[in-house]
Amino acid sequence: MRTMILIAIAFVFCMEIAIAGPEVLWIKEYGGDVNEAAFGVKVIDEEGYILAGSTDSYGAGLIDMYLVKTDDQGDTLWTKTYGGSLHDAARAIRERADGGYDIVGSTVSFGNGNFDCWLIVTDENGDSLWSKTFGGTSEDIGKAVGRTLSGDYLLGGYTESYGYGEQYYLIITDEMGDTLWTRTYGVSGDDRLGSAIQTTDGGFILAGSTSSLEDPASCTYLVRTDSFGDTLWTKLVNPDTINWCHSVKQTTDGGYILGGAIGAWRWGAYYTKIYLVKLDSLGDMEWSNSYGDYEYYNSAFCVRQTPDGGYIAVGTADRFYGDNSVLLVRANGAGDSLWAVRYYNSPDEARLYDVAQTPEGDYLAAGQVNNNMVLMKLREPLYCCDMEMTPDDDPVVVQPGGSFSYQGTLINPSTETLISDVWIGVIYEGEFFQTRLFEATDSLQSGEFVTRHLTQNVPNYAPEGDYRYMAYGGAYPYPCDSVWFDFTVEGAPLADGNSEWSVEELFTNVDEDISTGLPSTISIDNSPNPFNAATTITYQLPESGNVNLSVYNLSGQKVATLEDGHRNAGEHSATWDASNYSSGIYFYKLTAGDRVITKRMTLLK
């Protein structure tokens, strides 16, 4: 087995604000001289990970199922292959409570002919305990494995042996793999499942794509069932646009997040972006968003909800003629992009098929690059400001209709340029009541802070009792930091007191050094933005030094160098004439000493 650390080139696209992409802790590849791929990854304990996929280099036949156990640094502890003389591959894996593994995929070596869905149950060392095949004489592919609330096996895939044409395939077996019941679902015979899970109420949701419609050529198709597999509802997602779904997960609010691709006709072919769709519990769309650009075949093969209520999606950016990359997208709970990154420039397939999160919050992304199984470990960038809030008096006691004052501070502790909304409110008897939202209007440079003395008015109808005063920071309404202090309302209401909860005074940036007249930190902005043909980029330097100011397109290619040389402390500006460039999103990057600031601008013609 060959395991190597690859130093990857990363293209970072921060779609909303200047936030760094994830820190790559390590990248490892596993494989021999032919072809390997990982389709599933799991964190199995505090010390290691497990990958499931396929190998052409090892095993008994043409292609075998391939299991790789690693330590927490990605170094191989052991490997296993499963299969016969033909084509056998794993598509998903789960760990059981006893430390063993359940693996699902497909086999041509065993079963009833062609491809059959294949379930293998192993012990903690990867040694097979038993296996079962499911399917008929045509193609039957296993894509998902799980355990139901009653302890039975859930297998999801698609079948050509049963139903009409190609249809979704749901199999429920007992704990020994003996079939309890099966169901098929579809529109009219050209329906390929991407993902299947059990829902919290004991039912199931199946998601994939149907090509059964005349227009569009492909559309996301959902089937929601009860615990017996009987259909409750079906949905076609955005049927006016060509799109595909590869992954579905239930979210903490009882709804669903879908990951896949959305297409547009360009240059005689369909090019795609990553497509995320948030649905409520009834399958109605709450929001959708696309990520990337139509220069690639971009697609998400797996999406998961993150602990902060946001989402992480992994997939591919394929250029058809080479220059292929793996792609990761991080979004907040509203679907707004926090960062998107591409790694590798491979002439062969470069795809991430699964992503998991460690107890420490790091991401594990698994797939295939350079014909090898790949595992990447990445760390979420720090993109949250620190908050402080100090009341003028301690303890804080106020009459109904009165007020109390405090100092609030928002600090950027990172080396990046950050932006943060702030929202403030009170908690009384367990309920949060928001009193003010300060929407971010400017970014904070590294080490820069915002501070202001604020006054919170308490209405004269406020009941006596104990309250908690809360301040949250982040991308509203999704906090990444919070601070609080307690206060007490007591006494008779003031006759001429306040009539409502309100906050006086605003946050303002502290960015001027009054003693020198020079800026205390590096800052940069452009105007107008969006712009047509030309925009002026203005930056401020607290000290003299070498400066580089360059412009990049969405593919990470440098398209212009505006400044490159020594500049004195103070304010400088450069104009970018974009009359010869096409409309779209561009990024300008200022490098001054060890500081790097990147911002987005939009060219509209």
Question: Domain extents for the chain?
Answer: 1-31+241-381, 386-504, 523-603
CA distances from 13 to 329, 342, 554 (A): 9, 8, 7
Mean pLDDT is lowest, of 66-75, 192-201, 373-382, for: 373-382
Paired tokens of 536: 């002026």
Contact yes or no for 419/443 (Cβ under 8 A): yes
Q: How confident is the model at residue 441 (pLDDT cuts 50, 70, 90)?
A: low
CA distances from 389 to 225, 450, 454, 482, 511 (A): 49, 12, 10, 10, 20
> What DSSP letter does each residue of 226-253 carry, written as one string?
-TTS-EEEEEEESTTS-EEEEEEEE-TT
117/111 Cα distance (integer angstroms) = 8
Give the per-residue pLDDT at 516. Answer: 40
Query: What is the number of alpha carbons within 13 Å of residue 536 lying toward its C-beta?
Result: 5
6 vs 24, residue with greater confidence? 24
Q: Over pLDDT 70: what percentage of the chain?
A: 90
Query: 39 pLDDT exceeds 50?
Result: yes
Mean local confidence (pLDDT), 175-202: 93
Give the pLDDT band (50/70/90) at residue 14.
very low
In this model, does residue 481 exceed pLDDT 70?
yes
Neighbouring C-beta atoms of residue 391, cutoff 10 Å: 16
| Among the listed residues 23, 30, 25, 75, the one whose alpha carbon sits nearest the alpha carbon of residue 55 | 30
Please indicate whether residue 449 or residue 511 has the higher confidence score (pLDDT).
449
Q: Indicate the CATH number for domain 523-603.
A: 2.60.40.1930
Mean pLDDT of 382-410: 88
pTM of the model: 0.66
Interatomic CA distance for residues 160 and 289, integer angstroms: 33
Distance (Å, whole) CA 403 – CA 499: 11
Are 342 and 356 spatial neighbours (Cβ–Cβ below 8 Å)?
no
Quote the CA–CA distance of 5 and 28 in Å, as a whole number.
5
Residues composing the chain: 605
Q: What is the model's pLDDT at position 277?
A: 97
Q: Count CB-CB contacts under 10 A for residue 568.
A: 9
Average pLDDT of the residues in 13-35:
71
What distance in Å separates the CA atoms of residue 307 and residue 362, rounded to the nearest whole number? 11
Residue range 108-145, pLDDT digits in tens: 999 998 899 999 999 999 999 999 999 999 999 999 99
Nearest alpha-carbon partner for 233 in 276, 185, 303, 278: 185
Of 342, 390, 266, the closest CA to residue 14 belongs to: 342
Region 430-459 average pLDDT = 84
Q: Among the ranges 171-180, 256-265, 506-515, 549-558, which has the highest mean pLDDT value?
A: 171-180
Do 386-504 and 523-603 show the same overall fold?
A: yes
What mean pLDDT, rounded, does the chain reach? 86
Of 200, 199, 288, residue with least CA distance to 239: 288
pLDDT category of residue 16 using cuts at 50, 70 and 90: very low
Q: For 16-30, 151-165, 217-231, 302-316, which range has the lowest pLDDT when averaged over its residues?
A: 16-30
Q: Are 221 and 236 in contact (CB under 8 A)?
A: yes
Q: For position 6, what pLDDT does the model report?
A: 38
Tally DSSP H helices, then E strands, for the chain.
Answer: 0, 46
User: Can you tell me the distance from the alpha carbon of 1 to that of 558, in angstroms, rounded to the nearest whole number?
Assistant: 39
- pLDDT-based confidence at 508, cuts 50/70/90? very low
pLDDT in the model for residue 519: 60
pLDDT for position 278: 96
Instruction: Report pLDDT for 318.
Output: 82
Q: Which of 584, 586, 582, 581 is nearest to 600 (CA)?
A: 586
pLDDT at residue 555, as a whole number? 54
- Residue 567 above 90 pLDDT? no
Closest by CA position to 302, among listed 257, 359, 242, 349: 257
Asked if residue 545 has pLDDT above 60, the reply is yes
| pLDDT over 80 at 10, yes or no | no
Q: Is residue 195 pLDDT above 50, yes or no?
A: yes
Peptide bond into 413 cis (omega under 30): no
Nearest-angstrom CA–CA distance, 23 and 356 = 16
**Burial level of 431, CB count in 10 A (0-12/13-18/19+)?**
exposed
- Identify the weakest region by mean pLDDT among 98-112, 328-342, 535-549, 586-600: 586-600
Q: What is the enclosing helix (H) or strand (E) of 158? A: strand 153-159
Strand 311-318 relative to strand 324-331, pairing:
antiparallel
CATH of domain 386-504: 2.60.40.10
For residue range 525-535, what is the model confidence (pLDDT) as tens digits? 888 888 888 99
Across 35-49, 140-154, 373-387, least confident range: 373-387
Q: Which residue has the higher pLDDT, 66 or 383?
A: 66
pLDDT at 456: 95
Question: Three-state secondary structure along 263-274?
Answer: EEEECCEEEEEE
Q: pLDDT band for 518, please (50, 70, 90 cuts).
A: low
Instruction: Inform me whether the pLDDT recorded for 260 exceeds 60.
Output: yes
Asked whether residue 505 carries a pLDDT value surpassing 80, the answer given is no
DSSP secondary structure code for residue 463 in this structure? P
Select from 228, 234, 284 the least CA-distant residue to 255: 284
User: For position 605, what pLDDT does the model report?
Assistant: 65
Provide CB contacts within 8 A for 514, sequence distance 6+.
Answer: none
Q: What is the pLDDT of residues 279-299, one digit of tens each?
A: 999 999 999 999 877 777 899
